[in-house]
Structure 1
Amino acid sequence: MNTTPASARLADLPTDRVHLESCEPAIALGPLDGRYRAVTAPLADHLSEAALNRARVHVEVEWLIHLTDEGVLPGAPRFSDAEKEYLRGLVREFSDKQIAQLASIEAETRHDVKAVEYLLKAHLDAAPSVLGDTVLPQVHEIVHIFCTSEDINNLSYALTIRSAIEQVWLPAARGLVEDLRSMARDHAEAPMLARTHGQPATPTTLGKELAVIAWRLSRQVARVESTAYLGKINGATGTYGAHVLSVPGADWPAIARSFVEKLGLTFNPLTTQIESHDWQAELYSDIARFNRIAHNLATDVWTYISLGYFRQRLSAQGSTGSSTMPHKVNPIRFENGEANLEISCALLDTLSSTLVTSRLQRDLTDSTTQRNVGVAVGHSLLALDNIRKGLAGLDVDEDRLREDLDATWEVLGEPVQQAMRAAAVAGATGMADPYERLKELTRGKKVTPEAMREFIANLGMPAEVEQRLSALTPATYTGLAAELVAQIDQLPYE
């Protein structure tokens, strides 16, 4: 434990330093809004606090229009097309001015959804200056009618999460799959030594191994694409209590369903005060699973680079490899990808496990939790960007692939053994104990081409089988690997 008094520590920052929290423009605390802003900025239009507030305004406006269009409320006016356009203009034009207005209102209300309600009412009051004669200033009491905050929030989150996934994350995820698919096709016939358990194993092709990852990732893309984004608008405990008491003649479940479906969401007919968030947990689990497969890709490619199977183009990785060792080109894209995928998964796992639980009819644990959805998706997006750029900077060293194959003739112990078994079944003699005999020849030993062919020649195999085995090399022992790559022409998400 360091017991040096603060007054004696020379390494301390000066106490009269400029405190960075006072700098303008404001300095980001997190890397997604700082160092990596260029990559993750598109998510701000969907998963930032401002984007959430814009979605809340959208839901409030559309609920107001929906109720008046449906004629649900006795005595309520019908809006003209110009009035509806004016209302929706608040959403279209939502930017710095409205963000500042909301911040000012919330400083007084101490309630974010109430601030949105007041912003919309102020917009109603300003309507005559734009429209002239209008009923909008007289409909204050329809704004937010029959709604609890969670009615607005659950729909707003569903809309913003859906747009973020469909417009930002999914294109990046599909892009990685397409990159892998292209690489798999290009290298479908490039023989490569497999390394099960890290040990030389039955050869494959580089393209087939990349195709496996593409296929795995595409299944998760398909799951994300099929996500049902649920929503509800049924009041304080999900009973339509205030609705039915105030306007008993209306079919409120049908009105609620119609509204939710107009927003392009899936109606959840049974909830407490909150929409249960189960769909979010399912979505985050699918994204996390995609992340973990991408992590597997990053670690495998990192290993292939260390084995020399891939060469990195310096221009694609950055101008500096190591700060002290000029010969190095570090695989930083894949390492950064790994780290960001791990952070993303940690957050997604927390979201998945936390959001499905709410005490009795409502608690607020989901409020702060959901504000981290953008961070979780942002780290995944950043990882995908890194991995894709890393893959784009690789060249295959086919000489190195051949070198490894030529040095491991012992891997042909498997096909020789299996051919002996098949010959024995077909009636050939002298094929006893094939596994043990090949183990004696190959285990823990380097086998030369000559030794392997001599072993085959002394087996007494049928001539046709012996000829086929004698012609075999590690580079040609790849089975149907090259042909299997064609499977990626029908990826699950297509």
Structure 2
Amino acid sequence: MQLTSLTTISPIDGRYFESTQLLRNIFSEFGYLKYRLKVEIEWFKKIMSMNKLLDIKKIDNNDILFIDNVFNKFNEKDMLYIKNIEKKTNHDIKALEYFLKNKLSQSKKLSYLTEFIHFACTSEDINNIAYALMIKDALKKIILPLWLKIINILKKLSIEYKSIPLLSMTHGQPATPSTMGKEILNFYYRVKRQYKKLKNIEILAKFNGTTGNYNAHLAAYPYINWHIISKEFIISLNLIWNPCTTQIEPHDYIAEIFACISLFNTILINFNRDIWGYISLNYFKQKLIKDEIGSSVMPHKINPIDFENSEGNLGLSNALMNHMINKLPISRWQRDLSDSTVLRNIGAVFSYAIIAYYSMLRGLSKLKINSFQLLKNLNENWSVLSEAIQTIMRRYNIKNSYEKLKKFTRGKKISKANIYKFISDLNIPEIEKKRLKKITPTNYIGYAIHIVEKTIE
């Protein structure tokens, strides 16, 4: 069977092909190879720049251009060449080294310097930097822009719905009113915090040999400060240098990134479930799309499938991330290989998250507030004013205020007339009775509007 988007095992490359295509340049086998090729080339160029220290031939700008073009013109034919070498070596980095040596040997001048390709490196020197660059690009180009889009839409909805009163539900029961804008604002504030955190997490990399001590480097050139060279090299790639490692960079920063993304995703799961519930209560209507079908047998249905899809894929992303958070920072002694196969699934982590983000955004674009239903539910629940009434009674030192309201309201259907009569019979100043009678379930919203405006400011 020919491999296409219809014959893949994973829906990441099948059903959700369009949502995840931006990640392919980064996390595909081709992408991973290309990032590692970049690291090999940049290290070779760094070595060449030390020609006087190493007592080797100096290369000129034309040589640099030749080297850079190996990366710039890297294509699927090159990748297949590397994979064919790997079939013999059963080692992907060694196959990449041999490919690069073959390429540079085509230049008469560079052919004498090919032994400085992968000089003093262990595979993890190349791999950890490649992953760092891949993660950095995924965050900068895809994840953070998508997060910002979600944040801005939540901000917009918070402002748009800031004055629309909402019957709150604590424990699934009618409670003190809020506004729809304020409830969306709560999520806006939470995800914005994670956005700021993610932007500031340092992405680390190491370049210090087989057990982190520059043994081979010093064996070849004992008079060079390889510790400083390593730092310069990592910083030149716009990464943060990790000076203390075993054979591998310990992946703590990846765990930190995934912890942040996982929390962001969990907040969105909470949001999706709340919106799903509001749709169920008819607080939101969903825009009708003519040719869409909600059920194969029930023609009337418009299901909140985008929020359900988002919730499911956020869960998948989190499940993978939580495994990686627990797995990746642990390595037996100076190195074991159990992290390698796990790291190859980082693309899947981001993919499930991105599928979820797009689904949620699609769902939000279909929503239309149903103010009539919101007001109807509020006007059917005058008992929520018992909080305000008993609090004012306490102010005037009326004994057993709470208990009196409990006896009056609990388990009963309370109307506006019932509330007015109760207020009229209270032993409080007439001015307070008038003020209390002006409070309704639709205006008993406290600082909800003010909190939206101040937070958005």
Structure 2 length as normaliser, TM-score? 0.97
Measured after TM superposition, the shift of residue 79 of structure 1 is 2.1
Q: Deviations over 1:249-277 (max 9, x none)?
A: 11111000000000000000100000000
| Partner residue in 1 for 2:296 | 323
- Aligned with 1:202: secondary structure? strand
| Partner residue in 2 for 1:374 | 347
Q: Deviations over 1:298-322 (max 9, x none)?
A: 0000000000000011229x71111
From 400, 405, 429, the equivalent of 1:433 is: 400
In 2: Cα distance, 1:378 partner to 1:403 partner: 41
Measured after TM superposition, the shift of residue 463 of structure 1 is 2.8
User: For residue 124 of structure 1, what is the amino acid of its counterpart?
Assistant: L
In 1: Cα distance, 2:342 partner to 2:455 partner: 38
In 1: Cα distance, 2:345 partner to 2:124 partner: 17
| Partner residue in 2 for 1:145 | 119
In 2: Cα distance, 1:100 partner to 1:402 partner: 64
In 2: Cα distance, 1:375 partner to 1:487 partner: 39
Q: Does 1:423 align with 2:396?
A: yes
User: For residue 41 of structure 1, what is the amino acid of its counterpart?
Assistant: Q
Contact 2:30 2:76 in 1 (8 A): no
- Aligned with 2:149: secondary structure? helix
User: For residue 57 of structure 2, what is the amino acid of its counterpart?
Assistant: P
Q: Does 1:245 align with 2:219?
A: yes
From 436, 440, 449, the equivalent of 1:473 is: 440
| Partner residue in 2 for 1:221 | 195
- Aligned with 1:31: secondary structure? coil
- Aligned with 2:289: secondary structure? helix
Question: CA 1:25–1:384 in 2, change beyond 3 Å: closer, same or farther?
Answer: closer
- Aligned with 1:276: secondary structure? coil
In 2: Cα distance, 1:408 partner to 1:95 partner: 66
From 153, 159, 182, the equivalent of 1:179 is: 153
Contact 1:67 1:73 in 2 (8 A): no
In 2: Cα distance, 1:222 partner to 1:24 partner: 40
| Partner residue in 2 for 1:66 | 46
Mapping of residues 65-464 of structure 1, within 5 Å: 65-71=45-51, 73-127=53-107, 134-315=108-289, 319-424=292-397, 431-464=398-431
Structure 1 length as normaliser, TM-score? 0.90
In 2: Cα distance, 1:373 partner to 1:151 partner: 18
- Aligned with 1:203: secondary structure? strand
Gaps of 5+ in 2: none
Q: Deviations over 1:10-42 (max 9, x none)?
A: xxxxxxxxxxxx325483110000110100110
Question: CA 1:187–1:25 in 2, change beyond 3 Å: closer, same or farther?
Answer: closer
Contact 1:208 1:484 in 2 (8 A): yes
Contact 1:57 1:91 in 2 (8 A): yes
User: For residue 434 of structure 1, what is the amino acid of its counterpart?
Assistant: S
Q: Deviations over 1:182-226 (max 9, x none)?
A: 111100000000001110000000000001101111111111111
- Aligned with 1:34: secondary structure? coil
**How many residue pairs are counted as aligned between the two chains?**
456
Measured after TM superposition, the shift of residue 122 of structure 1 is 1.5
Contact 2:166 2:374 in 1 (8 A): yes
User: For residue 280 of structure 1, what is the amino acid of its counterpart?
Assistant: I
In 2: Cα distance, 1:262 partner to 1:461 partner: 74
In 1: Cα distance, 2:272 partner to 2:184 partner: 11
In 2: Cα distance, 1:488 partner to 1:383 partner: 27
User: For residue 219 of structure 1, what is the amino acid of its counterpart?
Assistant: R
Measured after TM superposition, the shift of residue 137 of structure 1 is 1.2
User: For residue 143 of structure 1, what is the amino acid of its counterpart?
Assistant: I
In 2: Cα distance, 1:475 partner to 1:82 partner: 75
In 2: Cα distance, 1:82 partner to 1:458 partner: 95
- Aligned with 1:311: secondary structure? strand
User: For residue 482 of structure 1, what is the amino acid of its counterpart?
Assistant: I
Measured after TM superposition, the shift of residue 74 of structure 1 is 2.2
Mapping of residues 2-81 of structure 1, within 5 Å: 22-25=1-4, 27-71=7-51, 73-81=53-61
Question: CA 1:487–1:100 in 2, change beyond 3 Å: closer, same or farther?
Answer: farther
Measured after TM superposition, the shift of residue 400 of structure 1 is 0.2
Measured after TM superposition, the shift of residue 126 of structure 1 is 2.3
Contact 1:65 1:79 in 2 (8 A): no
Measured on the aligned residues, the alpha-carbon RMSD in Å equals 1.3
Contact 1:181 1:488 in 2 (8 A): no
